[in-house]
Chain A
Amino acid sequence: METALSTSALVTASLLRPFAGEDGQFKAPGIDEFVGLPALFFEGTPFEINRIIMVRLIALAIMVLLMYLALRKSRLVPTRGQGAAEMALDFVRVQIAEQILGERLGRRFLPLLASLFFAILAMNITGIVPFANIAGTSLVGMPLTMALVSYVAFIYAGIREVGGWPFIRNALFPPGVPPVLYLLLAPVELINIFIMRPVSLALRLLLNMMVGHLLLVLAFAATNFLVVNVGGAAAAFGALTLFGGIVITLFELLIAVLQAYVFTLLTAVYIQQAASDHH
């Protein structure tokens, strides 16, 4: 584990473009890590693929492949792979779906929640995988798409479970409040539930992964700059930034899992609130 991580850190450092500007000044990583990337395939078409898109697709393909291999020959007494897959699925089933939504709704929405969790996890984890070094979720399209799916899911759950108008009424005019307050409450709830929820879901995930990547690049670019471009006594500071990079790598592993969990959990909570008669 430790050697793998430090190897990954070294690979990361070596793969980075030299971050020294033409004038020998250190240039901090910026939005050009994510925007204006050169196309690798199908340039100029709606199917253009750049580095991050490719990482995203490979991550999802590997996740699907692993799931397929683990569950292909499902047996009562699981193999090691099947056991691991079952454990992960059981985490989503028990800790998220059934705990938040209960038995019946949990069963209905489990496929959606599991899709969200494993897709986000797979694409997040690439942020610290050597040679990928970028999260598939660090382009806005993916978090936005999944937030939209989550949005549609909780509105669907509301309409299906309590009906269209009761759902809107419960959401905008919560019972047990003096009617005068509805003047204030209804617009706030409208913005909160129907605008802020999907936006915050998307932005939370996107910014977490972006910032994590920027931190990693900053640490390893600084290491590269200090050791290669400056050298001498500054190389000692390079060791410090390298160590910082390794710590951030571990931290990013935590963030990758945590953001997948948070996104899925919030989706479940939104569905639960929409589906319950009174909240």
Chain B
Amino acid sequence: MLSSPTIAANAGIALFLPPVYDIVWSAVPFALILAFFFFFVMPRFRKILDERAELIEGGIAKAEAAQAEASAQLEEYNELLAEARAEAGRIREQARTDGQAILADLKQQAQSEAARITATAQQQIEAERQAAVVSLRTEVGTLAIQLAGGVIGETLTDDAKATAIVDRFLADLDADEKATT
């Protein structure tokens, strides 16, 4: 119990003058708190923050790697596609030239075949003509003999008469030949 203002004023100083035990029970606990934060709380806290940052950065790096891989694959795919297109073009070109070559070949074959056939036909015709000429000659001979007989049967004094006969005969022959062909 405070009896006078003077004592109260003096006692007020005590508020700001710590007794020894107050100093002891301030310094020791606070030193422990400092140690606790330095050696337990902050390392833990930093570890969590670092791990979390690492996780996020790792995720970003992973995403970047995936993106790079995807773009590489895309490039590769495009390259393959271009290659395939070029290959297809080449094959098409080859086919076209091949086709043209085959066509030309066939044309040539056809032409030579045609020429051969024509030649054969001409040869045959020539042969037949030869045969015809030969057979005609033979027939002409025979007929000439018959004719001669006929002429002999008649008088052969008139040359003009004989010439007319022969001419008529040959004209007949021509007409005959024309009729048959």
Q: Which of A42, A53, A112, A140 contacts B17 (CB 8 A)?
A: A140
Known A86-B48, A89-B41; contact A48-B21, beta-carbon cutoff 8 A: yes
Is A216's CB within 8 Å of the partner chain B? no
Q: Report the minimum CB–CB distance from A66 to chain B (whole Å).
A: 11
Question: What's the Cα separation between A148 and B17 when bound, in Å?
Answer: 15
Q: Which of B17, B30, B40, B55 contacts A76 (CB 8 A)?
A: B55
Name which residue of chain B comes closest to A75, CB basis.
Answer: B48
Is B119's CB within 8 Å of the partner chain A? no
Name which residue of chain B comes closest to A112, CB basis.
Answer: B34
Contact mask for chain A residues 158-183; partner B; CB cutoff 8 A; 1 contact, 0 none: 00000000000000000000000000
Q: Which residues of B lie under 8 Å from residue A68 when comparing CB positions?
A: 40
State whether B29 touches A141 (Cβ < 8 A): no
Question: What's the Cα separation between A9 and B96 when bound, in Å?
Answer: 103
Q: Which of A32, A76, A110 contacts B42 (CB 8 A)?
A: A110
Is A45's CB within 8 Å of the partner chain B? yes
Interface of A is mostly: helix
Is B153's CB within 8 Å of the partner chain A? no
Q: Which residues of A lie under 8 Å from residue B12 when comparing CB positions?
A: 31
Q: Which of A45, A86, A112, A142 contacts B45 (CB 8 A)?
A: A86
Is A15's CB within 8 Å of the partner chain B? no
Question: What's the Cα separation between A34 and B77 when bound, in Å?
Answer: 83
Is A35's CB within 8 Å of the partner chain B? yes
State whether A35 touches B24 (Cβ < 8 A): no
Question: What's the Cα separation between A115 and B21 when bound, in Å?
Answer: 22
State whether A145 touches B30 (Cβ < 8 A): yes
State whether A30 touches B24 (Cβ < 8 A): no
State whether B22 touches A139 (Cβ < 8 A): yes
Name which residue of chain B comes closest to A149, CB basis.
Answer: B30
Q: Which residues of A lie under 8 Å from residue B52 when comparing CB positions?
A: 76
Question: What's the Cα separation between A139 and B30 when bound, in Å?
Answer: 14
Contact mask for chain A residues 185-222; partner B; CB cutoff 8 A; 1 contact, 0 none: 00000000000000000010010001000000000000
Contact mask for chain A residues 20-57; partner B; CB cutoff 8 A; 1 contact, 0 none: 00000000001110111000001001111100010011
State whether B25 touches A49 (Cβ < 8 A): yes
Interface magnitude class on chain A: 35 or more
Q: Which of B18, B47, B55 contacts A74 (CB 8 A)?
A: B47
Question: What's the Cα separation between A64 and B40 when bound, in Å?
Answer: 10
Is A154's CB within 8 Å of the partner chain B? no
Is B38's CB within 8 Å of the partner chain A? yes
Known A60-B29, A64-B36; contact A210-B18, beta-carbon cutoff 8 A: no
Q: Would you list which residues of chain B between 8 and 58 have a CB under 8 Å from chain A?
A: 8, 11-12, 14-27, 29-30, 32-34, 36-38, 40-42, 44-45, 47-48, 51-52, 55
Q: Report the minimum CB–CB distance from B6 to chain A (whole Å).
A: 14
Q: Report the minimum CB–CB distance from B42 to chain A (whole Å).
A: 5
Is A261's CB within 8 Å of the partner chain B? no
14 CB contacts below 8 A, A to B, read A36-B11, A42-B21, A46-B20, A46-B24, A47-B21, A48-B19, A56-B25, A57-B25, A63-B33, A74-B48, A89-B45, A118-B33, A139-B22, A145-B23
* A-B pairs with lowest CB-CB distance, top 5: A141-B22, A141-B26, A141-B18, A48-B21, A145-B26
Residues of A whose CB lies within 8 Å of any CB of B are 30-32, 34-36, 42, 45-49, 53, 56-57, 60, 63-64, 67-68, 71, 74-76, 78, 82, 86, 89, 93, 110-112, 114-115, 118-119, 139-142, 144-146, 149, 203, 206, 210
Task: Give 10 new A-B contacts, CB below 8 A, not counting A31-B14, A89-B45.
Answer: A36-B11, A46-B24, A47-B25, A64-B32, A74-B45, A76-B51, A115-B37, A119-B30, A140-B18, A144-B23
